[in-house]
Amino acid sequence: MVGSSHEALHRIFQKDPALLTRTLQSVLRVPFPEPREFAAMNVDLTEIEPIERRVDTLLRAETDEGAYLLVVESQGKPDERKRGSWPYYLSYLYEKYRCEPVLIVTTQSSATARWASQPIHLGVRGCPSLTVRPFVLGPDNVPVITDEREAARDVPLAVLSAMTHGKGPQTAPILESLAAALRTIDPDSAAVFVQFVDSCLADPRAQQMWRDLMTAIQYFWRHPLAEQVREEGREEGREEGRAQERAESVLRTLQWRGIVVPDVVRKRVLSSTDMDELGSWLDRSYRVADAGELFGEGS
């Protein structure tokens, strides 16, 4: 189970290696050849005993131009030690496998992205013996995907978009479009992507919105991520606890979207114990412009 944004930001490429080369080509404009196949590799770069060195994700991509080693490093904040370890990783991998290594850094921070994108020069100043130029995927270049059709065309890229842009005014449409797109893929893959996104949402309101969306389509409740919530629900009364949670989700969503909720609407929502009815209201809460529209025509 993924428990942190660090893990999610590189493991998504283990889940869908082709996403890595697509982002190299379309986001970073790197003329990377189209791979025929991928193979996951041992991430442990430890040599003999004294120092353990381990990359986050390591993939081998076979192309018509030869094999490449794709090194993915998830970076939360600047770390000057990486300016020594990253050149080591690439040199070690080239020496061991005689394949061209490519370093890709993923981050949720624009400041970290700017830091990571700076070339690493080793040797005489102005005339280095070794230069490393990391490719960086972050908030400034990963596309913001808020359209359901665009999200459905490339679900892994939409997941990366949500993981990277998980805060700010565009959070709601990003998460809503991804939630709709997840319905178009197999449930097992969708459940993994749900966990990746959940672990990357640092804003508690955004994370709650995501869990509300996933509750509505059952992915959150079927995933181990929800085990603690399920246990709490059992203690409080199974159906009653879930109905109350869903009712509160409806109201939270309206509040998140800046829609005023009159007392009469609030009381009706909180008094309902019909899960299907509450599910319909939750779906509408992401689209209505006025709280009175929540109950549909003729309410």
Flag whether pLDDT at 230 surpasses 60: no
pLDDT of residue 2: 54
Do 253 and 286 form a contact (C-beta atoms < 8 A)? yes
pLDDT of residue 143: 94
Amino acid, single-letter form, for residue 222: R
Mean pLDDT of the chain: 84
pLDDT of residue 237: 52
What CA–CA distance (Å, rounded) separates 209 from 203? 10
Do 287 and 255 form a contact (C-beta atoms < 8 A)? no
Q: What is the mean pLDDT of residues 206-214?
A: 87
pLDDT of residue 13: 87
pTM over 0.85: no
Q: Is 214 or 82 the better-scoring residue by pLDDT?
A: 82
Q: Which long-range contacts (CB under 8 A, 24 or more apart) does 259-262 make?
A: 259/288, 259/289, 259/290, 259/291, 260/291, 261/291, 262/291, 262/292
Tens-place pLDDT, residues 273-290:
887 788 788 878 877 888
**181-202 core/surface letters (b: 16 or more CB in 10 A; e: else):** bbeeeeeeebbbbbbbbbbbbe
Flag whether pLDDT at 234 surpasses 60: no
DSSP state of 109: -
pLDDT of residue 218: 62
**Closest of 267, 279, 170 to residue 214, by C-alpha:** 279
Tens-place pLDDT, residues 76-126:
999 999 999 999 999 999 998 999 999 999 999 999 999 999 999 988 888
What CA–CA distance (Å, rounded) separates 219 from 217? 6
What CA–CA distance (Å, rounded) separates 70 from 10? 11
CA 176 and chain centroid, separation: 14
